[in-house]
Structure 1
Amino acid sequence: METTQRHGWISESNPRQESLFIAARAPLALLLCSTAIALPSSALAQSAPDQGETTTLQTIVIEGQGGDTTGSNDTVVAKRSATGSKTDTPILDQPASVSVITEDELERRNVQDVQQAVSYTSSVSVDQYGSDDRYDFFQIRGFDQTSLGTYRDGLPIPILGWTASRLEPYGLQRLEVLKGSTSTLFGLNGPGGLINAITKLPQDQAFGEVYTTFGGAHAEVGTDFGGPIGTSGEWSYRFTAIGQDASRSGDYSNDDRIYVAPAVTYSPDAATTFTLLADYNKRDGNTAYGFPAGVDIDPDTFLGEPSFNAFDTEEYNVGYLFDHKFDNGLSIRSNARYTHIDLDYRQVYGAQIDPTIDRTSFFVDGEVERFAIDNQLQYDASWNRIDSKTLVGVDYVHDTLGELALVGTADGIDIYNPVYCGRGCITLDPYLNHDIIQKRTGIYAQEELTLDDRWILTLGGRWDNVETEQKDRDTGARDENTDTAFTKRAGLTYKITDGLAVYGNYSESFQPLITSGQTFEPQEGTQYEVGVKYEPEQINALFTLALFDLKQTNVPSYVTPTTQRQIGEVRVRGVELEGKMALDDRMNLIAAYTYWDAEIEEDGLTGNAGNRPSNVPEHLASLWLDYTLPGDGARGDLTLGAGVRYVGSVYGDDANTVDVGSHTVFDAAINYEVAENVDLAVHATNLFDEKYVSTVYYGTAYYGDGRQILGTLKYSW
């Protein structure tokens, strides 16, 4: 890989680094709410007894179809979400495209990271950079949302510079993907959309599991248990933890994890819930693996330095979720979280065919302190044929990033017969030593009006104020900037029947950019979308179809290695189809197809207008099917699953001179019920070990992840 200095920043020759550095200069996407209004759990119906009689009334449990917006689902189909509107609303009623990956689906596919979790979701492209496993990389509707588009429990977890951690999927109940411009409710973001991860929460019933996962260089143990505390029903708890000693397919790779997450919920009555969440997440990971393009080499080959190879993070989180409903239709909600992240990043990269050419050495010592809070007030009312749901909110994020970066050289290496030179051949010189402080305040409002339970009009607006300060620790120099914006959203849903709806929406996005030495206008985006959603009565399923037209303006592009011009414009038009079906107690089917017509409409002086943006495929398709053969007494249930994922060809550059072919990979799963409450499962990703290049960037190729086969033995109670 190569290193290019741009306005006092370092850009590794890594295919996704450009987007991270743009994000490092940009304020972050603000908050999205994941907490929702719970459905009533019981009702009583009985005529008045005669005086003096004692009558015992039977409790009737009313279950919401598709589950609530934060709880776990026992199927792959979810029909409610708080992500699309920040209110507890059926997905069918929302004028936007929302996909939910339930806890049941996460377990069926044995998801190891967020990229795997959303890999069967329409209009989401993941793992663009193959063996680069420092972050969870993803595009939504053709726009890179890696840096700004990830949320947890409605609060942002962006990537400011290099310092960031990854979500632990075993700690999640579900993930929700909102597609399209999201700034009206969630603040700073690109036009593609976002992923909201819902943390596992305490449950009303006692439960538990303990498991071990093994395979190759992978050893893992974990547990998840909880339930009510005492007999009053006011308190409940949950404890989730894993320990993992593992490596990835590449030589000298690492994927060690420790995750511990306690949670306690206090609910003194049906109207009030307060949950305290905390977690410790330590990961010892690996850096990116890149190779000279056009060279046929074993993808497991390591061309860095084993003694200088780490991407280790340590993260602490503590926060709360609060929800209270008054008797008059008024509700208040508040979500908050404090985060601390430390990063130790060491890498040697950039090996060339000529072994006499030096490689590049790179080091980062980083620290992030973040506080985020989102406060909401909701009022529900009805007048004759009209139902109203009014939401107002204020959110605030305070981010402090401190990073010391060193860059230097290391001796060259023979890529066909690597012999490592150790720490003694590595030089490092000061490069960057700075602090970035961002304060982001958002005020938003939304009105949802429903007429005759058929017409649903959604109107929203938001004002954002973003203050960014950059400070050089060595010189004391400061760079301050303030950006403000008002974004709008309008949507209309018409329910043709109770299970069939059509919708349309218009929405906007807002994404400031701060770069050292240059002042840019914020990037702005717009979206027009129409779609159809269908919930059949006969089966548990949800089908969606959407057509969209997204545009982002003020996109910067490099006209020299150190100079940018901000006259760029990128447009993506496309169609997405998705179906999730729990056909019966035995079969589940997940299918998705995406078409993206992406074009650079303006690109400064580089002559790329009319080209396709780099790393944006034209076609995406996936299919997952699992079927359970019921046990017969002597034999337990046997579940067989298989999946296929297709990613179309891409260009490795905006000039469209580097072609990267399409690839298709297969996944598989087998689960056998050994005994009551004991299961043995085997999961395989990239089953046939397909060797493919995921992208090429400035002469460096990145291979996709190879085959991984893992076995899991689990006992649950």
Structure 2
Amino acid sequence: MDALKGPASMLYGQNPPGGLVNIITKHPTRLKQGEIDVAYGSDDYRHFGIDTSGPVNDEGNVLYRFVGFAKKDNGPVDDASSERYYFAPSMSIDFNDKTSLTLLTSYMKDNTNPTSGFKLPYGTLHSTPFGKVDKDTSFGEPGYSTGDSEQFNISYELSHMFNDTWTFKQNGSYSYLNLLLRNVYGSYMLDDRNVQRGLTYRDGSAQNYAIDNRLVGNWTSDRFENTLLLGTDYSTINSRGTDGNIYSFGSPLDVFNPVYGNYTPATDDELFGHHTKRFQTGLYVQNQLKFDDKWLLLLGGRYDKARSSDIISNAGANSNTVDSRIDMDDHKYTKSAGLMYLSDNGLNPYISYSESFQPLSGRDGRNKPYEPQTGQQTEIGVKYVPAGFNGYFNAAAFEMYQKNILTTSNDPTINYAQVQTGMARSRGLELEAVGYVTDSLQLHANYTLNRVETIRSGDSDEIGNRLPLTPLHMASLWANYSFNGKLEGLTIGSGVRYIGSTYGDKTNDKDLKVPAYTLWDAMVRYDINKEWQVQVNASNLTDTNYVSGCNYWCYYGEGRNVTAKVNYHW
């Protein structure tokens, strides 16, 4: 799994301006291999996993892989629990030296009791006559809350090489999700002890079809290496179900001495049916040029067209009566560019620009459809790989603009629904250093300065203020030491994470300022031999009690978590 920072619409279509997580599916391997791991940890965490792969036939042109795991645990909040089962068989076939096909499938089932960790500033960030609310206390309803889902995916990756220059690649997928979610949370304090609760209810399914076609051309000359990418993609999402947003659910709860069970389940007249469809088509082109082994230039452009409809029926999910329908038609050109100089001394400066485009489903608290989110990011930096040093250094300064971002409203007249703030700007600096100080000692250090502030809004009090949940400073330092001699195979690691202060609302009210916190993590690993490995990981080793952030709600951070794992490889 890779984290791609910044706008990434050029190759990946509709995506948020802050970046995306690229989930890399495990593919079959030509080398026969496998792994089994078992783990046990805090909150009664239990895990069993298996991963096996290799050739099916003697010729080695048919490969397989099977990945599976099961886990159960009790969450950090009272009465919370979860279990997950995942299976992912896959197969690759090389028809000849020019054409190959990979088939990928996966199935995942989750059964959870999501007793809400959403809390209010009262009793978490702020003191009370009765002390602080225990971080394990749930404002939910253990006997009613549930979060069950099933996901199925089948996809393929086809590659055909026409000649030494041109290759065609096609990826297609179908996925299905079935979800039942009943999440009870705290809405607002009624008095010094009792909280009024609300309910988020979702019961429905979604189907997604997607296909991506790419034509890749590579050619070289004495001074040039060029890669041209031409592509088009299409996707459709169809979701249907029954929803509910009930802002007064059950009897008030004493947050210092909660008694559960005083509620009436949601009824049909409190729910509404929804049916959402979205169709997206994209065309894109990208060219990468390497000149004299010194200059690397990247240019790209993309056009997206998205159509969607959002239908709501207050008579239930299966009703043919349409009470409200909104149709949206969005389109956008996005661009990307980058230039890097590859010097002989390992000092590689670069500059890049990228844009993003993401249409949003749903409506705000005033029943107005959300506008698409867009983003633009400019970054200038340098990557340094010193000669003779096993490591690297990165430094980058960036500026990103995000338009139509979603934030939680403080307006009770629209039930604190999510609304779109006009525009936010993110300016900052990222520093990273990774390397071996000695043959045994490796260090990894990071620092980020990032000021995310509202620069355009209908509320003038918000302009110039930092957005909720966005720290100005973040830093981390991690060290690994691998022993030699009699203790060879033993590795210990430890590090600290610093998260700076944040604010709990868009006006930067000092009463809603969340203090900075520092956490200490550690690990120890012992490689018994080439096949067996034992490892223990610990996060928040000192069990620091802290509020990790606030928007309208506040969230306690995870306490001490220790997990021991045994791996067997072959």
Q: TM-score, normalised by structure 2?
A: 0.88
Partner Cα separation in structure 2 for residue 505 and residue 534 of structure 1: 17
Distance 1:365 1:243, change over 3 A: same
Quote the Cα distance in structure 2 between the aligned partners of 1:520 and 1:604.
16
In the alignment, residue 487 of structure 1 is paired with which amino acid? T
> Which letter does structure 2 place at the counterpart of 1:638?
L
Corresponding residue for residue 343 of structure 1: 179
> Deviation string for 1:569-589 (max 9, x for gaps)?
211111112233367774443
- Structure 1 residues 261 and 359 mapped into 2: Cα distance closer, same or farther (>3 Å)? same
Q: CA deviation at 1:249?
A: 2.0
Asked if structure 1 preserves the Cα contact closer than 8 Å seen for 2:482 and 2:488, the reply is no
Distance in 1 separating the partners of 2:361 and 2:31: 49
1:421 to 261, 267, 272: 261
Asked if 1 retains the 8 angstrom alpha-carbon contact of 2:139 and 2:197, the reply is no
Q: CA deviation at 1:641?
A: 1.3
Q: Which residue of 2 aligns with 1:509?
A: 356
1:327 aligns with 2:163: yes
Q: Report the CA distance between 1:258 and its aligned residue.
A: 0.6
Instruction: Please name the residue that 2:376 is paired with.
Output: 526
Residues matched between the structures, number:
539
Match of 1:386 in 2: 224
Conserved 8 A contact 1:499-1:535:
yes
* Partner of residue 490, structure 1: 337
Match of 2:309 in 1: 469
- Structure number with the bigger relative contact order (C-alpha 8 A, sep ≥ 6) is 1
* CA-CA distance at 1:681 after TM superposition: 1.6
Q: 2:78 is aligned with what amino acid?
A: D
Question: Counterparts of 1:584 and 1:370 in 2: how far apart (Å)?
Answer: 50
CA distance in 2, matches of 1:261, 1:565: 38
Name the aligned partner's letter for residue 710 of structure 1.
T
Q: Structure 2 counterpart of 1:681, which letter?
A: Q
Deviation at 1:555, TM superposition (A): 5.0
Match of 2:129 in 1: none
Note if 1:598 corresponds to 2:438: no
Name the counterpart of 1:109: none
Matched residue, 1:714: 567
Mapping for residues 452-463 of structure 1, pairs under 5 Å: 452-463=292-303
Q: Secondary structure at the match of 1:447?
A: strand
The secondary structure found in structure 2 opposite 1:191 is coil
Q: Which moved more, 1:269-278 or 1:215-224?
A: 269-278
In structure 2, which of residues 103, 128, 135 is the aligned counterpart of residue 276 of structure 1?
Answer: 103
Residues in 2 aligned to 1:686 and 1:390: alpha-carbon distance in whole angstroms: 47
| Secondary structure at the counterpart of residue 481 of structure 2 | strand
SS at match of 1:398: strand
Distance 1:345 1:505 in 2: 41
Does the aligned pair in 1 maintain the 2:547–2:554 contact within 8 Å? Answer: yes
C-alpha distance in 2, partners of 1:540/1:200?
Answer: 28
Q: Distance in 2 between matches of 1:239 and 1:564?
A: 41
Which structure has more strand as a fraction of its residues? Answer: 2
Counterpart residue number, 2:271? 431
Q: Which residue of 1 aligns with 2:126?
A: none
Indicate conservation of the 8 Å contact 2:143/2:261, yes or no. no
C-alpha distance in structure 1 between counterparts of 2:498 and 2:531, whole Å: 35
State the alpha-carbon separation in 2 of the partners of residues 567 and 292 from structure 1: 22
After TM superposition, give the deviation of residue 535 of structure 1 in Å.
Answer: 2.8
1:304 aligns with 2:132: no
Matched residue of 1:350: which SS? strand
SS at match of 2:23: strand
> Residue 505 of structure 2 is aligned with which of 653, 661, 670?
653
Q: What is the distance in 2 between the residues matched to 1:689 and 1:335?
A: 45
Relative to structure 1, the CA distance from residue 215 to residue 520 in structure 2 (aligned partners, 3 Å threshold; closer, same or farther) is: closer
Tell me the residue number matched to 2:521: 667
Q: Report deviation, 1:354.
A: 4.6
- What fraction of aligned residue pairs are identical, expressed as a percent? 35
Match for residue 400 of structure 2? 550
Task: Give 1:183 deviation, angstroms.
Answer: 2.0
Deviation at 1:315, TM superposition (A): 0.8
- Matched with 2:243 is 405
- Asked whether the 8 Å contact 2:195–2:255 carries over to 1, the reply is no
For 2:428 and 2:95, how far apart are their aligned partners in 1?
48
> Residue type matched to 1:185 in 2?
L
- Helix, strand or coil at the partner of 2:380: strand
1:625 touches 1:642 (CA, 8 Å); kept in 2? yes
Residue identity in the other structure for 1:280 = Y
Supply the distance in 2 between the matched residues of 1:197 and 1:431 (Cα, whole angstroms): 34
Pairing of 1:232-381 with structure 2 (within 5 A) = 232-287=59-114, 288-295=116-123, 296-350=132-186, 352=189, 354=192, 358-381=196-219
Give the Cα–Cα distance (whole angstroms) in 2 for the partners of residues 255 and 535 of structure 1: 44
Contact 1:512–1:523 (CA under 8 A) maintained in structure 2: yes
Q: For residue 192 of structure 1, what is the amino acid of its counterpart? A: G
Q: Is 1:536 aligned with 2:386?
A: yes
1:616 Cα offset (Å): 0.9
Alignment of structure 1 residues 81-120 onto 2, 5 Å: none
Say which of 230, 239, 242 aligns to 2:57.
Answer: 230
The offset of 1:453, in angstroms, is 1.3
Q: After TM superposition, give the deviation of residue 672 of structure 1 in Å.
A: 1.9
Amino acid at match of 2:166: L
* Aligned residue number for residue 180 of structure 1: 6
Which residue identity is paired with 1:655?
Answer: T
Query: Is residue 523–residue 555 contact of structure 1 (8 Å, CA) maintained in 2?
Result: yes
Tell me the amino acid that sits aligned with residue 713 of structure 1: V
Q: Work out the CA distance in 2 between the residues paired with 1:486 and 1:518.
A: 24
State the distance in 2 between where 1:338 and 1:631 align: 53
Q: CA RMSD in A?
A: 2.5
| TM-fit CA distance, 1:176 | 2.0
